[in-house]
Amino acid sequence: MILDALHLGVADIDGEPIAPLAELNGRLLEARQQALEIGLQETLRLLFRLNRSALTLLERQRALQSFSDEFRHYAKALSPQSPLPPLFLRLCAELAVGFKRLLLQIIQGRSPSRPHLAWCLYMALYFTAQCLLRHYQLYQEPAPELWRYSHLLYWIGEQQACLDEPVAAAFQPTPASTPGGLYQQVLLLALSNPFHLAEEECLLLFSALAPLATLPQVMPWAVDDDSGAPVIDLTLAQPSLVPGQPGNGNPAYLRRLELGALLIAVNDPAPLRSGPEHHLLERVKHHWLGREQRRHPRSERAADCNLLIGLQAIHAHLLEQRPVQCAARLVDSSAGGARLLCPSGLGNQFPVGQLVLLLDGAPNLVMVRWRHLNAEGLHLGLHAMQGLPRPVWLRRTPSGQTHPGLLQSTASENGWEHGLWLARDAFAEGEKLWLQLSGMNSQTEIQLSPANLGSTTVSRHPLKLR
C-alpha cells in the first residue's frame, strides 16, 4: 500500500441541497432543547448533510466549528452511569469525516499556513482518536480503518512538518497539545491493554497521558534496531506490531516509538497529576514495552459452565439459597484463571473487577480482569483467587444489622492465611466488626485491616483469626 491523503475515507459530494448555513446555529440550538437522543440525532443529521455538500473552505470551517461546540455540549451531558449512546459514536465519526474533508481542501489550496494546517490536522486526529477511545471504553475492538486513518493523518503531518505545532483545544477528556502528541496519546492508550481497565479508567488514562504524550519520539525504523520499542507500520490497520510480528512492510512507512523519556518522566513528581491518575499510570506502563501478562500455560477447553455474579449472589449460593445463575461457555483455562464467552447483552453485569463464582466442577472464586465485546459475544478474562470461599456475616455490634461477606482461606508455610471479601466501602479501614461464620452461633471481634486487593465493586482484607 502507498500512503496517499486521498485515502482518508471522506464522503462523496452528492449535490443534494443543504439548508442555508445562516440557519445552522439556530437549528443546533433547537436540537439542544430536545432530549439527549433526539438532539444527537438531529445534530448528526445536519452534520451528515454538511459533509456531503459542496462548500467553500471558509464555509466548511465555520460550520465544523459550530458542530465542535455541539460535541462539547453532548460530551458534557453524557452520564457516567449510563451506556454510551451509539449516536455519540457516530457523531465522533462524522466530525472526523468533516475535518478530513476540510484538511484536503486546505492541502489542495494555495500555500496554506502551517498553524492553520496544524489546527485542522489536529481536529481530524482528535475525532478519530475519540472514535478509538470510545470503542475501548465500550470494550469493543475499533474498526480497522480507524487505525489506518490515524496513521495516514500522522503521515500527512510528517509531510507537512506540522506535528509539533501547538493547538489550543478545550476538550474533555484532556487531549495532548500538538497533533503529534495527540497521535502518540491514543497510541499509548492502545498499548496500555485497555480491555483490562475498569469502565471509568479508560477516559481517566487518556487524560493522564495528555501531559506525557509529547515525550515519546516516533523515529525511523532501523533493520538492526533491537531496543524492544513498539514498531508501527503506517500502512496497517493496527496500532503497532505485536511482539513477534515481523516488520515486512515498506521500510519508508515503518516507525519505532522511542519511550525512554516517557518512562523516566512518568516517575517524576507531578503536582497536577491526581492520585488515581498516578496509580493508573503505574499499572499500565509495563504494557508499553510489550511485556506479556500471562504467567501460566493455557489449555484450550470447550465446556458449558454457570456463573454467580457479584458478592451478594455468591454469598446466597453458598448458603444454598439458589440465586439466579448465568450460563457461559468455557474457552480456555490455566492455573491462573480462565477465559469465557458469554452473551453480549450481559456486559453491564461484568465490569472489570467484578467477583464471580465459576461453577465448573468445584466452585472457583474468580475476578474479571478484562473483557472484550465482538461479534461472537462477550469475552471475559478471569483471574483465579486461591482458596474456597465461605459465607460470613459482619456486624458493627453483636446484635446489629448483618452484612454479607466471604472468607477465603489458603494454606501456607506459616499456617492458614485468610482474606475477607466485602462490598467496596461497606466499612471503614480500622473499624471494629463482629464476624460470624455461617452455621456458627458465636461471633469473633475483628479490626478491619487495609485492603490488599480492591476493585470498583469489592475489596479484600487480610484477616488473622485466633
Tens of pLDDT, residue by residue over 428-445, are: 999 999 999 988 888 999
What confidence tens digit (pLDDT) does each residue in 203-219 have? 999 999 999 999 988 88
Check pLDDT > 90 for residue 57.
yes
Using DSSP bridges, classify how beta strands 389-395 and 432-437 pair: parallel, antiparallel or unpaired.
antiparallel
Q: What pLDDT shows up at residue 106? A: 92
Check pLDDT > 80 for residue 171.
yes
Q: What pLDDT shows up at residue 226? A: 59
- Region 152-173: mean pLDDT is 92
**Alpha-carbon distances of 148 from 43, 90, 127, rounded to whole Å:** 27, 18, 14
Residues 6+ apart with CB under 8 A from 328: 304, 305, 306, 307, 340, 341, 342, 380
- What helix, strand, coil percent values describe the chain, rounded to 5? 40, 25, 40
Check pLDDT > 50 for residue 91.
yes
Q: What pLDDT shows up at residue 58? A: 93
Q: At 271, give phi and psi (nearest 5°).
A: -60, -30
Check pLDDT > 80 for residue 299.
no
- Residues 341, 346, 347, 349: what is their CA dihedral angle, to the nearest 10 degrees? -110
Distance separating alpha carbons of residues 335 and 463, to the nearest angstrom: 25
The SS3 assignment for 231 reads strand
| Burial category of 334 from C-beta neighbours within 10 Å (exposed 0-12, middle 13-18, buried 19 and up) | middle
Q: What pLDDT shows up at residue 2? A: 53
Q: What pLDDT shows up at residue 206? A: 96
Lookup result for grid cell 456463573: 307
Nearest to 351, CA basis, from 377, 385, 381: 381
Distance separating alpha carbons of residues 406 and 420, to the nearest angstrom: 6
Question: Is the CB of residue 176 less than 8 Å from the CB of residue 182?
Answer: yes
Q: E strands within 87-246? A: 217-220, 231-233
Check pLDDT > 80 for residue 290.
no
User: Minimum mean pLDDT among 128-132, 177-181, 239-243: which range?
Assistant: 239-243
Q: What pLDDT shows up at residue 223? A: 62
Q: What pLDDT shows up at residue 109? A: 81
The SS3 assignment for 11 reads coil
Q: What pLDDT shows up at residue 458? A: 92
Handedness of CA 178, 179, 180, 183 (dihedral sign): positive
Query: What single string gives the DSSP state of each residue in 373-406?
Result: EETTEEEEEEEEPSS-EEEEEEESSTTS--EEEE
What confidence tens digit (pLDDT) does each residue in 126-158 have? 999 999 999 999 899 999 899 999 999 999 999
Split at pLDDT 50, 70, 90, the class of 1 is: very low
User: Minimum mean pLDDT among 121-125, 183-187, 330-334, 447-451: which range?
Assistant: 330-334
Check pLDDT > 90 for residue 377.
no
Q: What pLDDT shows up at residue 4? A: 64
Question: What mean pLDDT value characterizes the chain?
Answer: 88
Q: What pLDDT shows up at residue 199? A: 78
What confidence tens digit (pLDDT) does each residue in 389-411 have? 999 999 999 999 999 999 998 87
Q: What pLDDT shows up at residue 41? A: 95
- Region 365-384: mean pLDDT is 85
Better-predicted residue by pLDDT, 93 or 388: 93
Split at pLDDT 50, 70, 90, the class of 224 is: low
Looking at the chain, the whole-number percentage of residues with pLDDT higher than 90 is 53
Check pLDDT > 70 for residue 295.
no
What confidence tens digit (pLDDT) does each residue in 41-56 have? 999 999 999 999 989 9
Question: Is the CB of residue 391 less than 8 Å from the CB of residue 378?
Answer: no
The SS3 assignment for 150 reads helix
Split at pLDDT 50, 70, 90, the class of 293 is: very low
Distance separating alpha carbons of residues 23 and 89, to the nearest angstrom: 25
Task: Specify the length of the chain in residues.
Answer: 466
Check pLDDT > 90 for residue 387.
no
Split at pLDDT 50, 70, 90, the class of 175 is: very high
Number of H helices, E strands in the chain: 11, 16
**Alpha-carbon distances of 76 from 88, 91, 172, rounded to whole Å:** 12, 14, 8
Most confident stretch, 49-58, 88-97, 164-173, 268-277: 88-97
What confidence tens digit (pLDDT) does each residue in 300-329 have? 777 899 999 999 999 999 999 989 999 999
Q: What pLDDT shows up at residue 6? A: 66
- The DSSP call for residue 430 is T
Q: Is the peptide bond before 173 cis (omega within 30 degrees of 0)?
A: yes
What confidence tens digit (pLDDT) does each residue in 244-288 have? 777 777 888 899 888 878 888 888 888 889 999 999 999 999 888
Question: Is the CB of residue 206 less than 8 Å from the CB of residue 168?
Answer: no
Q: At 342, give phi and psi (nearest 5°).
A: -120, 165
